[in-house]
Structure 1
């Protein structure tokens, strides 16, 4: 019994029309379906399923989905979550053409959906690359989500649900000067993180949603594409100190932050103990000396 990576995220946006214009015309996603003022978008030209759901009204993350291999595994996750006191709900309307799911809420309020995706490709074959057919920024896939928490107790409670309820492992924990959690990065499989946690202002639910780009050259082309459309980066390109992936960040129309991420490392072996680092001893933000922008502690 194991989880797949992030399948989709549902974000609230302040203006659905502006958000759609950006995500379709600039980011390069395509609409696959809609239900009223809720729109489903995909970055994969060969995948009929959405990786992003936009809902009109507000900001932040409403829910995000993690894939499971079969419906039989849903019952096992329900039992595992029940042991640690998490209430789950069976649903039949998580997304179009994806009728069966299990949903629950994290201690910070974000909804997590466990969704059977037996047809999800095990990997992306470089010999069948579709990058030449992408439009705009052209991300290859949804990459990870980093949710917001407001204090140490919330962060530890979320990590407990992810590790004991879903079988996640913690890759890194970053402590502030008071030895409280400032950030953490958790993984369902081998990649360094699928769900991150960053301390933000009270009331925020999302720090950023990340999209996979190919490499630094793609980062540069993406920055040029964004700038030519009038959208400037918040910070980057750069390489993170924790995790080591390449990054660029921007605030998007609709009120949420996106990351463009490349070269996400993989964790070797079955290591379960996280690496714990502390402010003042290690720069979690940048491996190259870039200064974290003041806005980076603000979520949506």
Structure 2
């Protein structure tokens, strides 16, 4: 049965999910080897060491007439032996992606061409999977070396004429205790997606901002970027925080890691309330616990 797109207020609410999916995938040029990514780390020394984000992190965003792209570069205070292993497994990626408040479910299946991640993207509130939007992303580890990792997820088509979804990640060992990560997202869009996005930004998203500072007001306070680049930057940060939460929780006993990931993700987004605040902690935890329980029950019944 063909899925009908929502109209009116429902379309505006659903747009957030479309934007999220858009931002799940981006693709700038990637390093071909460990040395190239290390060179990028060296080039970003100043930005990583002193920035308003209060993290060793650099965020970029770009918009063209028919595409959006976001990139994040970050130093991870964990050895590559931990980070590289943790970010290779497809099931690990479901553990990461489900932390985002708009991801309602994630599961992995095997196909002749490789593994596939099945996501449902929906609203930030509790929602039946039948009311969310299913997407499939081909997953592959492009490179896995003792000091360098590349992971790619790809989907060729999306809603409202969007296409060429990509999520790419690369990690390199910096030394015995640190790794350098590059996460990139992109998608292509047409007229329908542009109109829907404009509707969202004129209503529910009218007060939303990103992280890039484009000016200073009369009091010297930063003026942050808005529009679609603001949307990309918010979601790029949300997914970086999901990766960070997943990696940080690995020190806990296995039975405690899920709750630790959820707690760390919410704490992370609340460090940037102007950009990322959506739900109170209790709301977020209650919704995510139900979604993850549903996901686990569905997996057990297969």
Q: TM-score range by the shorter chain?
A: under 0.3
With structure 1 as the length reference, what TM-score do the two structures score? 0.27
Which is richer in strand? 1
With structure 2 as the length reference, what TM-score do the two structures score? 0.27
Structure with higher RCO (Cα < 8 A, 6+ apart): 2
Which is richer in helix? 2
